[in-house]
Structure 1
Amino acid sequence: MNCLIDETISLDNLQKLKLAFKEFERGGSRSIDAKCFGRIVKKCLGLPKTSNAQIQGLFKKIDFLGQGQISWGEFCTHMMHEYKEKQETVRRSKQVAFTLPASMKTLCHGIPIVNIHSSHDGTIVTVREDGVVCCCSPELKPLKTKHLFNEGPASRKSKWASDFILMTEFNKLMIGTGDREIQLYELSTLEPYCQINALETVPLTLDFGCTGPDKCYIVYGDTEGCVTIIIISSVGDTLRLWNKLPEIENMPNIAIDDAVLFPNVTFVRWKVHQDWITQAKYFHSFQAVVSSSKEESTSLVIGRVLPLTDAEQQLDDIREACYEGKTKKIQLSWTPQLRASCDQTVFNISKGVKTFDLCQKHSLLVTGGMDRLIRMWNPHFSGKPNGILKGHSAPITYLHIIPENGQIFSVSIDCTVKIWDIQDQCCLFTADSQASGIHGDISACSYSSAVKSFYFAADCIAVLSLKIRPRLHSRLTVSHDETVMCCGYSEEFRQVVSCSEGSVVKVWDFDTGRQLFEFGGTHDQSAITCMAFDAKGRRLITGGRDGCVKIWNFNNGQCLKTLRKDDECHEVCDCIFLQVHRTFYVMSVGRDRKIDIYPDIPEGLHHVQRPQPSWQDDLKSGHKEDILCVAQCPPSLLATSSYDGEIIVWNVISGRIRCRLVSPLLAEHQNVEGLDTSVPSIIFFKNSKLQHFSSATALLSAGAMGCINIWNVLSGSKLAGSFKASKFQQKITKLAKTAKDTLLYAADRIGYIYVYNMEKFTAGQKSPRAEGFWRAHTSRITGLQIVDNDQVVLTSSTDYTVRLWSAHGEYIGTFGQSESWSVHISSSWKHPAVPYEVLIDPLSMPHHEILNVKISSDDIDTDKTGAHKGELKALSWNSQAC
């Protein structure tokens, strides 16, 4: 509503506003009213055309107590809390974590693993120094193991592997050996295919890049600081030719001198570093080879494969020399060459570089090494890093960028794994060796994007899996990332507020369905279980599983009060804001089986407030089980209901018990094993047209097996009637009524909403005809409110959604959907469409055979919170009797 005003406020504008407030202070007024506030906002912010409604909306948010005046300090406090919570919302959206501890597989040998890689399907491949290859499932279950180096003569010296890489495009596994060889094996069978031997040096680090349909680069770095690139065209044909060559030790063999003579092979060797190369990789998106070393002057170099100047001509010359056997040109191609300065970017980094990664999407190079710092660079500028990430306490051995998430994963030699945010340059998550259970020296590690997991080789093989939020069907829209526990409507702001199990509060625009604001961590990460508004609708009261009740300015996330007991706190199940005479109170009930009453003292000096002494009747003869619900009937009646089915009606003025009501059981329910007799919802009805009620006051309560019980609380406290409200005999979880106490809306735990005209109810009716019914959700409804002025129904559910419906069950929309709606323009509604998960759910089909048989409540899964099951096929108004 005031987003334009917020976006306009800058430091200069704040200074102007401050001076304007000071002018009023010099005039003897320390605060200003709404009219003056509107005038100075338009003047200081340069918004003469801003609507008064927008400015008044901002004023009301600051003046949450409704005093009609705000001060400069209150304005600043509001802005500070609003921006703080917006930043926290961004941080929360980036939350990421591993499942701890790691899953591990013990190694039965002491031979180091040289590297770990994963295939496209998530298969994990490891190679040990002695040439043993192991293929595992993502969960580390062995699939295949083979010793690749034990097929030669027993007399020959042992061979050792230096590194390996997967050539998945060509179904090959490539291994570098200490005998100056590059060996290729069939990836599916691990059978020898061919090898290139007689290399100039040992290939310490290998990489492979597929640059076209049948073209690739093989890159390796060596002990002399050289980067060698073998460019192969017509890869399939070339490798097949090499596969038919004479064998050496059961492996078809070709010497590098002969390989470069093939017309489809180009050999390039660059002298890049002055020390051993620690890592060399080809990045196709940059058309460059990146290599690193522990030597500072050339710590990391980004270089072209071929020189920029007349690259095509030089490539032709090299190919011609190789093909014609011109000794001079071949010798030039063998001799390590120095790149021209225009063909490379050199980074001088303290203590050198052990590991790096490069990302085109974020135009980012990250480096790490012995100094324990992660440096973030513009890959085109080597002068100074854009940022330095500090946090590791040991040298860094592995870095990996996740472009789609904007994150960097880092691993240090002390087995600490960190996840960093690229934009904010902050650490999002840390798993040290104590938390992960990974110990020993890390010889290899790798991140598998296919299964979103990190694999480590240390004292054991270990896997750390990212906690992944369940992916929704493309047609599903959710309002929260977790179960929605309650919702409500503030008429003052025309806003909807919803609270989740993840302790997050979201504020929505009632008229469009757009999210306006959110704040989290409200109850120390405990679930919010209930909510209410104050009398003016400007403050939010929430109860949580942590046993606390809190009062909020829900438009900026400021916690105004914390209401709690001195001793151990138990879960709060329900709360209300009520008035007794001229005093306002917050009342809460829950698992401590007592009624806690807190006077509303907004100007109180103490942030934490304790409850009043309990009523004597509550202490002596109150509820014996958890209290689930509380409802008020002004001026003096209060009712509470508990898990064991008991309802107690109180005189809220005296604190005395007026009567006790025990929910009855129908004859057919008497012997049902494990029957749920709890009363999760109660509501008072006051209507002079109610039949069989001399006092015109009735109490309605949710009973067993989908029944609703009606009590005459002022005339003998008798049961006036009971009827089956749920078509499937499911527990009624929420009751709501229209302003004139005429229509009753009842929601059950499989998402159906039923509407009854209570003026037509007569005692003795077992199953009165519903005025209408429809299915709003596929799991338990946790919030139900009627907005009479707009003739709509607000609902929330454990299926993560908050929805709006017309009073007749027409689907307006789900809060958080991409398209906005207008409450008063029916053409903007989703109707006649219905939520997708409701549409496909079997229990939504009005003529499905499952609806024609008797269904036990135990046969229906009422909390389908995991996968956001489908929406119902909404039943038409007055479509059939319930």
Structure 2
Amino acid sequence: MEGCVTIILLFPAEDTLRLWNRLPKAENVPNIAFKNAVLSKNVTFVRWKVHHDWVTQVKYFHNFQAVVSSSNEDASSLVVVSFFPLSSPGCMLPSTDSAQKLREIREVCYEGKNRKIQLSWTPHVRASEDQTIFSIYKGVKAFDLCQKHSLLVTGGLDRLIRLWNPHFSEKPTGILKGHSAPIFSLCISSEDGRIFSISMDNTVKIWYIEDQCCRFTADPTASGIHGDVSACSYSAAMKSLYVAADCIAVLPLMLRPEPHSRISVSHDEAVMCCGYSQEFRQVVSCSEEAVVKVWDFDTGRQVFEFTATPDLTSITCMTFDIKGRRLITGGSNGYIKVWNFNSGHCIKTLRKEGKCHQVCDCTFIKVQENSYVVAVGRDHRIDIYSDSPEELYHVQRPQPSWKDDLKNGHTEDILCVVQCPPSLLATGSYNGEIIVWNADSGSINCRFVGPLSAEDHNTKAIGLDSSVPSMAFIRNLRLVPPSPTTGLLTSGVRGWVNLWDVLSGRKLVSSFKVSKYQQKITRLYITDEKTLLYAADRMGYIYIYNMETFDPEQRSPRAEHFWRAHTSSITSLQIVTSDQVVLTSSTDHTVRLWSARGEFIGTFGQPEMWSVQIPSSWAHPGVPYEVLIDPLSVPHHDVLK
């Protein structure tokens, strides 16, 4: 824990490495002891004192001719060290003062090995003019430097990303907030003007340098990162972020098309969720940056907007109360907020005591005569908050956890929760486990784990996504023999959907492929009247299946209809039965309205208003411009094969 930075300079490097390649091998790799390597006449060993704690990261930046190192200490969290070139090309030494520079050059270049080693093993303390010290609260765990934008970015245990002028260490030029765990890695893409950040909970975020806003977030479910991250690297040539964990995850950068007059967006960042309030005939949408917008359902016009900060760093989910008068949002910091969404007033905060974890889903339920807010997330527990006028405190705590939940509940992050009145509650987790609960007693009715094919069993070790991001109960499901029962539809692997019988104990009834492109099904919705299943995937496609004519023995039932609604993952899907329209939102920054058969009505926020009741005012037969020009929207045809 000396806080020293060590450099080995090879000159000429090719000759030295060629010589070392002939040395005895250990585990089939040429090997040389460190103490013997530094004795070579072609090697210069340099060491200097920088920090007073462990060095968390060190990098050399050729464009700046500097070595940058970081530590978790506050005083010298990050140090930028300039170099002084030797007469030999490619070799550099740290500078102290002018006299010391000359002495080091003479000693390294002209004196014997013993003198060189004696000099090199002694850590140097450099003069203040040769280094720039950044003092940051809780230190620095990751950083990157960009010459094009003259930008230094740092991240650490306090979960904040700080932007600096590399030549000015007094105050950061900006602070990016959004991560719920310490920052592990930072990469700057100078060509694309973006910052990539990875936190200890394996969440990946993409930030724009120009406006300092987060434009995309991928949690471990979406990114495919499993286990502890050990290293990451961004390839400008491949426009991909490579992350090494239990397996290597490749995250390609999908660039949005340049702004076009035909492209309309609802938010400036990814839309995480949206919903329809029948009471006010309004649509509410929530973005990743905790911006809440209220829209007029009948025209698409924006009515109101507010920002749910500072308590909520990012909104992850939302629901309404039974009457549709109050908005309930869940955040990445574990807080649940109850809002008057027409005024932006926070009525109440629901949260656990102590450390809170991200809320992944929430719902409003009624059991007997009592109403509750149910929240699930990364703490693996089901949190239940009473919705009663008698709860007068602004900050409300959850009820005691169910005993069965504590003893036999989920062991991984819970991603979704759904109720089947009067008393069934289902939860789905990151590892593919589904548990059906009795909401009256808090006991487990049954539990399922999604099936895997033989191919999937072989690939599970390399990160197959078995998570369950969405579920939907289906009532009066008629199977063979034709006896009505209650079914549960859940997202499966590779774009499949699983159907479970939760009452008769038959468990898995059927598994059928939904997504044409084997993309994870992100949202499921069942209509009450005709028992139609709407399923949305990560590529923005929506599929419709008629469950009244569904045959459990048919592994590949034909979709009655499908269309592409968005260019990226769909985050919300709701059928407004009173008007027979489909409401969707996506990470492509848009909230859209469609007819029940996929006819495009419009994007909330577009210049032209529509009337839901007048089809001639709809955008149909047009489609969203970015969907039209996206190559993945081109249908498959034998001629194109």
CA contact (8 A) 1:692 1:763 kept: no
Given the superposition, is the C-alpha separation of residues 580 and 825 from structure 1 closer, same or farther in structure 2, using an over 3 Å criterion?
Answer: same
Given the superposition, is the C-alpha separation of residues 495 and 691 from structure 1 closer, same or farther in structure 2, using an over 3 Å criterion?
Answer: farther
Aligned mates of 1:654, 1:851 — CA distance in 2: 57
Q: Deviations over 1:680-710 (max 9, x none)?
A: 1011000255655634210000000111100
Are 2:349 and 1:562 aligned?
yes
Are 2:624 and 1:815 aligned?
no
3-state SS, counterpart of residue 405 of structure 2: helix
CA contact (8 A) 2:312 2:335 kept: no
Instruction: Quote how far apart the aligned CAs of 1:466 are.
Output: 4.8
CA contact (8 A) 1:503 1:523 kept: no
Are 2:632 and 1:843 aligned?
yes
Match of 2:430 in 1: 643
Q: Deviations over 1:183-211 (max 9, x none)?
A: xxxxxxxxxxxxxxxxxxxxxxxxxxxxx
What is the 5 A alignment of 1:245-264? none
**Paired residue for 1:467, among 193, 211, 236?**
211
Aligned mates of 1:468, 1:580 — CA distance in 2: 45
Match of 1:662 in 2: 449
What is the 5 A alignment of 1:97-108? none
Match of 1:408 in 2: none
**Paired residue for 1:724, among 478, 498, 513?**
513
3-state SS, counterpart of residue 665 of structure 1: coil
CA contact (8 A) 1:523 1:546 kept: no
Aligned mates of 1:692, 1:775 — CA distance in 2: 36
Match of 2:501 in 1: 712
Aligned mates of 2:639, 2:393 — CA distance in 1: 58
Aligned mates of 1:693, 1:521 — CA distance in 2: 49
Aligned mates of 1:740, 1:710 — CA distance in 2: 19
Match of 1:597 in 2: 384
Letter in 2 for 1:630: V
3-state SS, counterpart of residue 659 of structure 1: strand
Given the superposition, is the C-alpha separation of residues 664 and 430 from structure 1 closer, same or farther in structure 2, using an over 3 Å criterion?
Answer: closer
Aligned mates of 2:640, 2:263 — CA distance in 1: 25
**Paired residue for 2:324, among 533, 537, 543?**
537
Match of 1:765 in 2: 554
> Alignment identity in percent?
65
Match of 2:467 in 1: 678
| Structure with a larger share of its residues in helix | 1
Match of 1:748 in 2: 537
Match of 2:570 in 1: 781
Instruction: Quote how far apart the aligned CAs of 1:106 are.
Output: 7.6
Match of 2:170 in 1: 434
What is the 5 A alignment of 1:208-247? none
Match of 1:622 in 2: 409
3-state SS, counterpart of residue 843 of structure 1: helix
Instruction: Quote how far apart the aligned CAs of 1:437 are.
Output: 8.5
Match of 1:307 in 2: none
Instruction: Quote how far apart the aligned CAs of 1:667 are.
Output: 3.4
Aligned mates of 1:434, 1:552 — CA distance in 2: 39
TM-score w.r.t. the length of structure 1 is: 0.44
TM-score w.r.t. the length of structure 2 is: 0.60
**Paired residue for 2:339, among 552, 568, 586?**
552
Aligned mates of 2:482, 2:335 — CA distance in 1: 39
Given the superposition, is the C-alpha separation of residues 725 and 107 from structure 1 closer, same or farther in structure 2, using an over 3 Å criterion?
Answer: closer
Match of 1:739 in 2: 528
CA contact (8 A) 2:474 2:486 kept: yes
Q: Deviations over 1:450-506 (max 9, x none)?
A: x99xxxxxxxxxxxx853779623321110010000110000000001111001111
**Paired residue for 2:305, among 515, 518, 530?**
518
Instruction: Quote how far apart the aligned CAs of 1:675 are.
Output: 1.2
Letter in 2 for 1:799: D
Q: Deviations over 1:761-814 (max 9, x none)?
A: 111111111110000001100000000110100000000000000000000000
Given the superposition, is the C-alpha separation of residues 551 and 437 from structure 1 closer, same or farther in structure 2, using an over 3 Å criterion?
Answer: closer
Aligned mates of 1:744, 1:734 — CA distance in 2: 10
3-state SS, counterpart of residue 171 of structure 2: helix
3-state SS, counterpart of residue 627 of structure 2: helix
CA contact (8 A) 2:164 2:171 kept: no
3-state SS, counterpart of residue 492 of structure 1: coil
Aligned mates of 1:627, 1:850 — CA distance in 2: 45
Instruction: Quote how far apart the aligned CAs of 1:527 are.
Output: 1.3
Divergent runs of 4+, >4 A: 103-108, 429-433, 468-471, 688-693, 848-852
What is the 5 A alignment of 1:133-172? none
3-state SS, counterpart of residue 445 of structure 2: strand
Instruction: Quote how far apart the aligned CAs of 1:740 are.
Output: 2.2
Instruction: Quote how far apart the aligned CAs of 1:590 are.
Output: 0.3
Given the superposition, is the C-alpha separation of residues 676 and 822 from structure 1 closer, same or farther in structure 2, using an over 3 Å criterion?
Answer: same
Instruction: Quote how far apart the aligned CAs of 1:522 are.
Output: 3.9
Match of 2:49 in 1: none
Aligned mates of 2:500, 2:604 — CA distance in 1: 36
CA contact (8 A) 1:499 1:505 kept: yes
Q: Deviations over 1:523-553 (max 9, x none)?
A: 6351111110001000001101010111100
Match of 1:803 in 2: 592
**Deviation larger for 588-597 or 673-682:** 673-682
Aligned mates of 2:465, 2:481 — CA distance in 1: 29
Aligned mates of 1:728, 1:508 — CA distance in 2: 33
Q: Deviations over 1:121-174 (max 9, x none)?
A: xxxxxxxxxxxxxxxxxxxxxxxxxxxxxxxxxxxxxxxxxxxxxxxxxxxxxx
CA contact (8 A) 1:690 1:758 kept: no
Are 2:490 and 1:701 aligned?
yes
**Paired residue for 1:833, among 599, 615, 622?**
622
Given the superposition, is the C-alpha separation of residues 523 and 594 from structure 1 closer, same or farther in structure 2, using an over 3 Å criterion?
Answer: farther
Instruction: Quote how far apart the aligned CAs of 1:847 are.
Output: 3.3
Instruction: Quote how far apart the aligned CAs of 1:840 are.
Output: 1.1
Aligned mates of 1:651, 1:437 — CA distance in 2: 53
Instruction: Quote how far apart the aligned CAs of 1:670 are.
Output: 2.6
3-state SS, counterpart of residue 261 of structure 2: coil
Aligned mates of 1:554, 1:823 — CA distance in 2: 23
Match of 1:607 in 2: 394
What is the 5 A alignment of 1:379-528? 434-436=170-172, 466-467=210-211, 472-522=259-309, 524-528=311-315
Which structure has the larger Rg over C-alpha atoms?
1
CA contact (8 A) 1:695 1:714 kept: no
**Paired residue for 1:633, among 398, 413, 420?**
420
CA contact (8 A) 2:164 2:172 kept: no
CA contact (8 A) 2:270 2:587 kept: yes
Letter in 1 for 2:523: K
Given the superposition, is the C-alpha separation of residues 486 and 693 from structure 1 closer, same or farther in structure 2, using an over 3 Å criterion?
Answer: farther
Which consecutive residues of structure 2, in runs of 5 or more, have no partner in the other structure?
Answer: 1-60, 67-162, 175-191, 194-208, 216-257
Instruction: Quote how far apart the aligned CAs of 1:850 are.
Output: 11
Match of 1:398 in 2: none
Q: May I ask how many residue pairs the two structures share in their alignment? A: 406
Given the superposition, is the C-alpha separation of residues 596 and 520 from structure 1 closer, same or farther in structure 2, using an over 3 Å criterion?
Answer: same
Given the superposition, is the C-alpha separation of residues 693 and 527 from structure 1 closer, same or farther in structure 2, using an over 3 Å criterion?
Answer: farther
Given the superposition, is the C-alpha separation of residues 621 and 809 from structure 1 closer, same or farther in structure 2, using an over 3 Å criterion?
Answer: same
Aligned mates of 2:374, 2:426 — CA distance in 1: 12
CA contact (8 A) 1:647 1:660 kept: yes
